[in-house]
Amino acid sequence: MDFPFYKKILQQPAPSKPIELPPSRPTSEISPETYMPDDGLVDAVNVALLLGQPLLLTGEPGTGKTHLAYHVAWQFGLPLFKFETKSDHKAQDLFYIYDALRHFHAAQVSKSCNLDTPNAIDYLQYTALGKAIILANELEKVKKFLPSGFKHPGKPQRSVVLIDEIDKAPRDFPNDILNEVEDKHFRVPELGIDDEIGVADEQFKPILILTSNSEKHLPAAFLRRCVYYNIPFPEKDVLSQIVEKRLGQIAKNSSEFLEDALDLFIELRNQLKEKPATAKFLNWLMTLHQMFKGRNDSKYQYPNDLARTLSTLVTNTDDQEIAKEIFKDWIQNKNKS
């Protein structure tokens, strides 16, 4: 089905079966092999690996903080476990979730039916860092901690753990996980077992990557335990390389158009209050590719079409009018040249 997919007025009866629509996201944007870190980020990853410390990343939304973890896991052939931080998360949630209410109800039912009391272990679900620490051990060592259905390869393995947007967590969250993050161990008191679950061999210690949008400051004690790097917005030539790698053949077949789109995008970043990031630019190019597919007009006589793509780049009401003027001036200048 060609663009546009959704129409203001349907000229025919509604379809009798679902219409095939494009994927929700371009696969090139999320493929780890297309990720292109800058030199400073490469150095930061290597320092974090050398010291065995978490890597904390900041930078504009859309600059690739989250995708780095997928790239590291892909490059080393390791599994990745992601923890999406929420405003109501507790330190425990990084390691496991215990469904106390469901366990209580099950215990009440068992008691009324004269059945054995259900074990707390069956109401546990290990989350990102907890799962990675368990998998860093021989199965026999951690078997008593595992609920039925937990998949363990038997031998220890290393993992990459992504704690995404840690600045969304409650104020005490980073401080509450200081020792656990540094030493990679935790306890599950609900099981009535005094032993802690930890990493016995350093070679299987999880690789920990944290991201922050700097919405609030993280505690100094926590920052001291991390390797830190701020991902800058890429220069024009680097941005061009990123586009070519992410969008592949689309970029190669549109080199002249890509150069113009880069100029326009940089102009938008210079003037808009809410600066669109790399991910927005990639999405915009994908949109333009669909809209202009099959057209061969080097004089850019489609200002209305360009204006229709504003929703891809602009997230601020005031910026919408500014962007329209930028589009208009840019197209007029291109047509004069």
Task: Output the pLDDT for position 308.
Answer: 77
277-293: burial string, b at 16+ Cβ within 10 Å, e else: bbbbbbbbbbbbbebbe
Q: What is the pLDDT of residues 114-141, one digit of tens each?
A: 777 778 888 899 999 999 999 999 999 9
Considering the chain, what percentage of its residues have pLDDT values greater than 90?
39
Task: Output the pLDDT for position 255.
Answer: 62
**Range scoring the smallest mean pLDDT among 170-174, 258-262, 302-306, 317-321:** 302-306
Class of domain 28-231 as given by CATH: alpha beta
Q: What is the pLDDT of residues 265-317, one digit of tens each?
A: 898 999 999 889 888 888 888 887 777 665 555 444 455 667 778 888 888 88
The distance from CA 180 to its chain's CA centroid, rounded to whole angstroms, is 23
Task: Output the pLDDT for position 299.
Answer: 47
pLDDT, average across residues 140-159: 93
Global pTM reads 0.84
From residue 333, give the alpha-carbon distance in Å to each of 154, 309, 326. Answer: 65, 19, 11
